[in-house]
Amino acid sequence: MYGVFAANCGKFTRTDYMEITDKLFIVTVPVANIRGKPVDAKPSYIHDDLQETQVLYNETLRYLDETDDWYYVEAIEQKKFTSKSIRQGYPGWIRKSSVVMLDAPVTYNAVVKNRTACILKNRLENAGLLLTVSIGTKLTVNEAPDKKYYSVVFGGNKRGYINKDDITDAKANLNKSALRKAIVSTGRLFLGTPYLWGGRSVFMAGLSEVRQRAGGKGQGVKGSIFNIQHSIQNTVNTGVDCSGLTNLVYRANNIDIPRDAQEQWTAAQKITHSSPKAGDLIFISAEGRPDFINHVMLYIGSERFIEAAETGDTVVVSTFVKRFGESFNQLAEHDFVIRNKQIHFGSIILNQ
């Protein structure tokens, strides 16, 4: 059996997520869908109203109900407000084959900061690949007798090795200037990733990179990658929506923020249009509803931002002129109202 995490990698504590009496599961595949009904997503990048969100390897879920092949769960690391203004994790259905039950506490002390990371059988250059995980995946790592690798515990009692360059240590404490640079660098890792409604992963986008970094010579590596790729392709599309992008960018830098744009706006410190800095967030309201946020983008400075815009697109760097038809200064002249939508600015970093 697996263990329950203490969530020390971010700003939450164990009591933020669960009660001791809860029945809990842990995700055992690199990426899994949380669905509005117990039916699989179609294998195409279309808007799917049943797609609630995605969970990553090692995420903890609270049991709510079940059918023959599905559990109804709450994704307790992805907080949202319910219709009754109660803060809870994302609810939805997940395949039973994607989770196992928990029975003991575990503390995760690291998070994957690159698009993908390889867990290897040993510390040799062409070691066999045990598992590939997506950016934002939390892990338990320990020092290894090698400057290049950590040892990592996964899959219950399995052990492997992971490159130190793929990991953000939970103890890392960057100053705000360094943190802003790290967040922008992380955001750039998502460029070219497909937009996926409810998406919160970049796994498939990084497989060619995984093959190169894991040492593509060796049958063990090639075979493992093929098996992982094949299984993921037949069950889960990978990609990000606008708030899935910003959620993962911050998560990879040891900061846990809510899953949805509206909740991210609530969690952010409100700033004026004259003060956004690289790493801050740009929020766009619904038409005619200035306080209802339905889109978020990552500001990277010089009137540019990284955005996952809509179905059919990929993550790109854009500008105010390209996105809104007006420059930053032109928008400021009418208080950042454009086409009856309000543009807001907020900072997570100022709250750290």
Q: Which domains does the chain have, with CATH numbers?
A: 2-106 (2.30.30.40), 110-171+179-233 (2.30.30.40), 242-351 (3.90.1720.10)
How does residue 43 score in pLDDT terms, banded at 50, 70 and 90? confident
Q: Are 277 and 300 in contact (CB under 8 A)?
A: no
Task: Tell me the average pLDDT across 133-139.
Answer: 95
Residues facing 167 on adjacent strands: 112
Average pLDDT of the segment spanning 247-260: 96
**Averaged over 193-211, what is the pLDDT?**
73
Looking up tokens 């515990």 gives 153
Instruction: Compute the average pLDDT of residues 274-281.
Output: 94
With bands split at pLDDT 50, 70 and 90, how would you rate the model's confidence at 20?
very low
Percent over 90 (pLDDT), the chain: 66
- HEC string of 41-52 equals CCCCCCCCCCEE
Residue 204's pLDDT is 56
Lowest mean pLDDT among 37-41, 146-150, 250-254: 146-150
Q: How confident is the model at residue 337 (pLDDT cuts 50, 70, 90)?
A: very high
What local confidence, expressed as pLDDT, does residue 81 receive?
63
Q: Where are the alpha helices (DSSP H) in the chain?
A: 14-17, 176-188, 207-214, 219-233, 242-251, 261-267, 320-324, 328-333
Least confident of 14-18, 40-44, 297-301, 341-345: 14-18
pLDDT in tens, 60-106: 999 999 999 999 999 999 977 655 556 678 899 999 999 999 876 56
The pLDDT of residue 245 is above 80: yes
The whole-number pLDDT of residue 102 equals 86
Q: Note whether 294 and 286 are within 8 A (CB).
A: yes
- Alpha carbons 306 and 147: distance in angstroms, whole number: 34
In this prediction, residue 87 carries a pLDDT of 62
Torsion of CA 126, 129, 132, 136, to 10 degrees: -60
Give the pLDDT confidence score for residue 238 in this predicted structure: 93
Does residue 196 carry a pLDDT above 80?
yes
User: Across residues 41-61, what is the average pLDDT?
Assistant: 93
Cβ–Cβ < 8 Å for 202, 190: yes
Sequence-ordered list of residues with C-beta below 8 angstroms from that of 313, at least 6 positions apart, any chain: 195
CA distances in angstroms from 256 to 10, 102, 125, 160, 248, listed in the order given: 5, 22, 33, 26, 8
pLDDT for 165 beyond 80: yes
Q: What is the chain's alpha carbon radius of gyration, rounded to the nearest angstrom?
A: 20
Indicate if the pLDDT at residue 172 is higher than 50. yes
pTM of the model: 0.86
Which two structure tokens, joined as six digits, stand for 330? Answer: 């032109």
Average pLDDT score over residue span 129-135: 91
Distance CA 343, CA 276 (A): 12
Query: What phi and psi values does residue 257 have, to the nearest 5 degrees?
Result: -120, 165
Rounded average pLDDT over 316-325: 96
How far, in Å, CA of 283 to CA of 78, rounded? 19
Statement: residue 298 has pLDDT above 60: yes
Q: Inform me whether the pLDDT recorded for 306 exceeds 60.
A: yes
17 CB neighbour count, 10 Å cutoff: 20
Task: Provide the pLDDT for residue 1.
Answer: 35
Helix (H, G, I), strand (E, B) or coil at 172: coil
pLDDT at 170: 81
What's the chain's average pLDDT? 84
What pLDDT, on the 0 to 100 scale, is given for residue 144? Answer: 78
Question: Does residue 16 surpass a pLDDT of 80?
Answer: no
User: Which of residues 202 and 252 earns the better pLDDT score?
Assistant: 252
Q: Could you tell me which residues come within 8 angstroms of residue 266 by beta carbon, excluding any fewer than 6 positions away? A: 258
pLDDT for the residue 242: 98
Which tokens in the block code for residue 332? 């400021």
Over the stretch 215-240, which tens digit does the pLDDT of each residue have? 443 333 333 443 444 344 446 899 99
Calpha distance 247→251 (Å, rounded): 6
Contact of 101 with 1, CB cutoff 8 Å: yes
First to last CA, the chain: 35
Please write down the long-range contacts of 311-319, taking CB distance under 8 Å and 24 or more positions apart.
Answer: 311/45, 311/46, 311/47, 311/195, 311/196, 311/197, 312/45, 312/195, 313/195, 314/191, 314/192, 314/193, 314/194, 314/195, 315/190, 315/191, 315/192, 315/193, 315/195, 315/240, 315/245, 316/191, 317/188, 317/191
Give me the pLDDT at residue 84, please.
54
Taking residues 106-123, report their average pLDDT. Answer: 90
Instruction: Kindly indicate the confidence band of residue 147, based on its pLDDT and cuts at 50, 70 and 90.
Output: confident
pLDDT value at residue 106: 66
Residue 282 to residues 99, 182, 251, 347: CA-CA distances in angstroms?
35, 18, 18, 9
Side-chain-side CA neighbours of 217 within 13 Å: the count stands at 3
